[in-house]
Amino acid sequence: MPRYCENALKVAQYLQKYPKVVWVNYCGLPDSQYYDLAQKYMPNGSCGVLSFSIKGGRENSIQFMDNLKFIAIVTHVADACSCVLHPASHTHRQLSEEQLIEAGVVPDLIRFSVGVEDFEDIIADVEQALAKA
């Protein structure tokens, strides 16, 4: 669990600084609305799941995922391997744009379940995929 938490925090911090990233949602980041609660209830690390969006909307989010080389596109979370999902085109694909928003799933949202691989390998894959999106 410590490796999940450490990797997720590092990925979230990396994404926050990346110019193509619009926003990052991770309770381990100090600017998260859930940060204080995460620190109170999970002082040794929060979790390995975060969400973010990139500039260019839904199409660029899908392109980003298609560009990944070893990070898998799957629906589950908390695997030892890093995986991503674009809910608007996968788990919630039957919903209209309006219904997506009502459900709290913005069209460009990417869910990222960070695994226990070497952090540098995770970031390298994310970076090359973002550069092409």
CATH number, domain with residue 27: 3.90.1150.10
Rounded Cα distance between 18 and 38, Å, is 24
Per-residue pLDDT at 33 exceeds 80:
yes
The percentage of residues in the chain with a pLDDT greater than 90, rounded to a whole number, is: 66
Rounded Cα distance between 19 and 29, Å, is 18
The percentage of residues in the chain with a pLDDT greater than 70, rounded to a whole number, is: 94
Residue 73, φ and ψ in degrees, nearest 5: -100, 105
Per-residue pLDDT at 24 exceeds 70:
yes
Task: Count Cα neighbours of 70 within 13 Å in the Cβ-side half-sphere.
Answer: 16
| pLDDT mean across residues, the chain | 90
* Domain limits for position 44: 2-132
Rounded Cα distance between 29 and 69, Å, is 27
Secondary structure E strands in the chain: 21-25, 49-54, 72-73, 83-85, 110-113
Give the pLDDT score at 39.
94
Q: What is the DSSP letter of 87?
A: G
Average pLDDT over residues 75-90: 81
Per-residue pLDDT at 99 exceeds 70:
yes
Sheet strand arrangement including 72-73? 21-25, 49-54, 110-113, 83-85, 72-73
Average pLDDT over residues 7-34: 96
Number of structural domains in the chain: 1
**Residues contacting residue 78 through CB under 8 Å, at least 6 positions apart:** 4, 48, 49, 113
Q: Which two tokens stand for residue 108?
A: 């460009």
Q: Tokens 């609660």 label which residue? A: 37
Give the pLDDT score at 41.
95
